[in-house]
Amino acid sequence: MLTDRDTKIVLEINNERFTRWQSYDIESDLLQPADAFSFKAPNLHGEMAQKIHRGDFVSVLLDDTVQMRGIVDDVSYSGDADSGFFVDIRGRDLFGQLIDCSAPLLHLKNPTLKTIAETLGGPWIGEWAVDNEDNKQALIAKAEYKRNQASWRKQKEGTALEIRREVADRYRVTSDNKTELLAEMDEKLAQIDGDLDAATRNLNQIRAKLFPNLKVEPGQTAMEILEQRAQKALMLIWCAANGAGIIGKPAYSLDPIYRLRLYPSTDGRCGENNIKAASVHESMQNVYSEYVCYGNAGNTKVKYGTGNNYKGIARDDTIPIPRTLILTDGDIKNVQQAKEKAEAERDRRRFESISLDYTVPGHYNEGFGSEALPWQIDTLVDVDDQISGYKGVYYVTRRRFSGDESGRWTEITLHESGVWLA
C-alpha cells in the first residue's frame, strides 16, 4: 500500500482530499483530445462508500501541485471477503465534456478561433489561450483602416464635388464647360466609389480567409469543431493542468528542462542512467519521399475550367527510397495553399513516424537545475540513449504517472522537436 510518507498523489473533491490508493494512473497526451485518470482505493470497511460520485468536479495533485482538473466519469465498488473490497474511480479532464456533448446549434460570422472556443466551451472551460490571434486581428485592423480611409475620402471629396456641381448650376456655367465639368465630377465620384468597394472586398476576403463563418450542424460536438479549426490553423489543442483551454503550437523554442540517459554497462557514464525501460520505434510505413497535393476546387464563373489545376509538392529527404503520396483537398484555392497542405502532411507524418517511449522511476526529473521538476507535456528533453543510438533534444507529447505496491513510475513519449507545427 502506498502511504503518505511517500510522494502524495491527491484526489481533491469538494475540499476533501483522498490520498490512500491501491493504485493510480494519470495520463496527459497532447495528441489525444482529453486526458484521463483512474484510482483504486481500499474500501474494506466501507470507508469510501458514497464519498465520490459520477459528475463530481475533481483536482488531481502531485505534492500539492495541480496536474489535472476534471470530472468523474465512473465509480465502481467491487471485491470479495478474501481479497478485500475496493472502489475504482475513473474520469477525464474538462475536455471530456466537449467530446461527449453536442454543440449548440448556431451560426457565427467570421468568428476568431478564440471566440469559437469561448462560445463552445460553455460552462466547462472558463479560460482560453490562443496563439497568433493578435497577428490575425492586426491584419484585419489594417484592412479596416484602409477601408475607413476610403470611406472618409468618399465622404469628404464626394461632398466637395457635389458643392461644385451646385455652384456650376447656380452660376450657369456655359453649356460646353458644364458638360465637361459634370463628366469630370462623375468620373471622380466613380473612382472614389471603386476605391471604397475594393477596400471593402479586401477586408471581407481577409476576414473570410482568417476567420471563416461557422455553422454548427446537428450532432456535432464542440471538440470536433475545435479540432477541425485548430488543424486548419496548424495548431494543437489541449487542456492545461489548471483546466484552461490551450490552442497553440508546440513550445519548441524553449530550452530543455529534463535529462534522460541510457548508457551500456560497459560505458563509464552508466552511473548517470535514469531510464528503467525503453521502446524506440521508427517506421517508414506512413511516410513518403514526395507529397503531391492537388487543389480539388470546383469551377467558378470567373475561372471556369480551372478546377483541379492547383498543385503543391513537398519532399522529405530523410526517406531513402522513392515513395509518393497524392492528396486532394476541395478547400484549396491556389498553388500556395496546395504547397502548404503538402508540407503540413509531410511534417505530421514524419513527426509520428519516430517515437521514443521511456519509463523512469518516480514522477520527478532533476534535469539541469538544482530542483527536481515533475514531468509535464509540451516540454523538451535532452536525450542520450546509447542503446538505441538516439541523441538530441526531443519533445514530450505524452506523460503517464502510475503507481501500485511495486512502486511509482512515469512513462514518457517523445517525438522529434521542431518537425511538425514549427
What are the tens digits of pLDDT across the range 121-150? Answer: 988 999 999 886 555 455 446 555 555 666
Domain with CATH 3.30.1920.10 in the chain: 258-416
Q: At 5, which amino acid appears?
A: R
Domain with CATH 2.30.300.10 in the chain: 9-93
With cut-offs at 50, 70 and 90, classify the pLDDT of residue 299. low
Q: What is the pTM of this model?
A: 0.81
What integer pLDDT is reported at residue 150 of this predicted model? 62
With cut-offs at 50, 70 and 90, classify the pLDDT of residue 196. confident
Considering Cα of 40, then 45, then 51, then 54, what sign does the dihedral take?
positive
Name the CATH superfamily, with its identifier, for domain 9-93.
Answer: Baseplate protein-like domain - beta roll fold (2.30.300.10)
Q: What is the pLDDT of residues 64-112, one digit of tens each?
A: 899 999 999 999 999 998 889 999 999 999 999 999 999 999 999 888 8
- pLDDT above 70 coverage of the chain, percent: 80
Topology of 258-416 in CATH? Phage tail proteins - 2 layer sandwich fold (3.30.1920)
